[in-house]
Amino acid sequence: MVSKISSILGKKKKALEEEGLPSHPLALLSLLIGGFVELLMAKWYFRNAKKLGSMVLTKNRPKVEIYGNVEIADGVKFWSKFDRCKIFVKKNASLTIGKDTFINGVHISASTSITIGHNVDIGPYTIIMDNDFHAIGNQDASEIKKGITIEDHVWIAMRCIIMKGVTIGKGAVVASGSVVTKDVAPYTVVGGVPAKFLKNINTPL
């Protein structure tokens, strides 16, 4: 933990210097205190998670309701800068998030299974739902639900909707405002409503 904090402070110091901002001990102390608060907040908000890795941080106030199985790996960040992160996991459902994933102002609703890999970036106002709540035209019918898998190194831009039953392949990019209703192949860019193939990504991440 100490070495991890030392590494983070070193990176913060370098970043401040590159931006021409103060990097003296008091500035670094302020960052350290802020990071400690974000760490404590994550432990509180995700206190009902089955597994919570080290250095999981939350900024501002997410809304978290956990009744199922939640596992969050090391270094995951939940930011609520543009919109409030809202995470709801029903009883008997699961949510798994891989290491160093960044989630900013995202709404996640898990009724069966949502798996998010490591080093995934998800932009604000995005909705990820593995369910429809109820059938079309019949609010009393049972919800339709199918699991979602988002593989490693995926980038989902802002204002996207990820629908039930979808797998987004490793290294894929989902353009802003897209509605993903079908699987996305690894190392491709998709966009539109519904999302369609735009191009391949030549360099694997």
Which residues are tagged catalytic? 118
In contact, 126 and 148? CB cutoff 8 Å: no
* Secondary structure (3-state) at 186: coil
Tokens at 89, concatenated: 């996991």
Tell me how far apart the alpha carbons of residues 79 and 73 are, in angstroms, rounded to a whole number: 16
Residue with tokens 């629908």: 163
Which distant-in-sequence residues (6+ apart) come within 8 Å of 63 by Cβ? Answer: 84, 85, 86, 87
